Amino acid sequence: MARTNSHSIRAALLRPLLAAIVLCALLLALAPPGADAARARISGHLPNCHIAVAAASTAPGAAPSIRLARAAVCLINNRRTQRGLHRLRINNRLTKAAMWHTHDMVHRSYFGHVSRRGRDVVDRLYGARYLGGRFSWAVGENLAWGSGNLGTPRKIVHAWMKSPGHRRNMLDGRYREIGIGVISRGPVRTDLPAATYTTTFGVRR
């Protein structure tokens, strides 16, 4: 049975979602919701979505993980621009933290925002040097893994959009940057090829 676990600093939600896709969402903020967006510190780049989106329906193992990752970012940005929001730029430090966590979940066989060593997304972002210094920030993290055709970027992003916590992270107008880590393997053994996804969202002011 699949589950979605949407957690914020205010509330936790647990309810069924989609078969064979497991999801988690986390939102943390130390920046006031009305903070001036013009003061955001932005770095990174945008993927070439004319090329990347071709892998949107590619099942795990049928293409390199980097292609799945780029396609997922393009799909997220497409959802944002449809609603008049700016596109998120890929930040290398957010991506480093996301890859660390995806690798850790896959190789230590667990699925959740807190690692076996007790490190959460904020710990990872300090370790990747995305956080630190005298500025306010807001960060979020979406997790998912799916097997077979349900592990494609399109299915993962669709599942996130159907879950309130994940959708809130993807469509949060404060965020300016994104990091993503995808590995073509699940955190548990599966009969079909699987993929595990971590996306980290952030803004610093």
% residues pLDDT > 70 (the chain):
78
End-to-end CA distance of the chain: 41
- Residues 95-110, mean pLDDT to the nearest whole number: 96
The answer to whether 140 and 200 have CB atoms below 8 angstroms apart is: yes
The answer to whether 176 and 137 have CB atoms below 8 angstroms apart is: no
CA dist 21 and 17 (Å) reads 8
Q: How confident is the model at residue 13 (pLDDT cuts 50, 70, 90)?
A: very low
The full length of the chain comes to: 205
Residue bearing the bigger pLDDT, 193 or 205:
193
pLDDT at 2 over 60: no
Determine the pLDDT at residue 168.
95
pLDDT tens per residue across span 40-90: 555 567 878 878 888 999 999 999 999 999 999 999 999 999 999 999 999
CA dist 180 and 200 (Å) reads 6
The stretches of 14-146 forming alpha helices (DSSP H) are: 49-52, 65-82, 92-108, 121-127
Mean pLDDT value across the chain: 82
What are 164's two structure tokens?
């309130």
pTM above 0.85, yes or no: no
Determine the pLDDT at residue 9.
21
pLDDT tens per residue across span 145-190: 999 999 999 999 999 999 999 999 999 999 999 999 999 999 999 8
Residues 6+ away with beta carbon under 8 Å from 163: 4, 6, 17, 23, 25
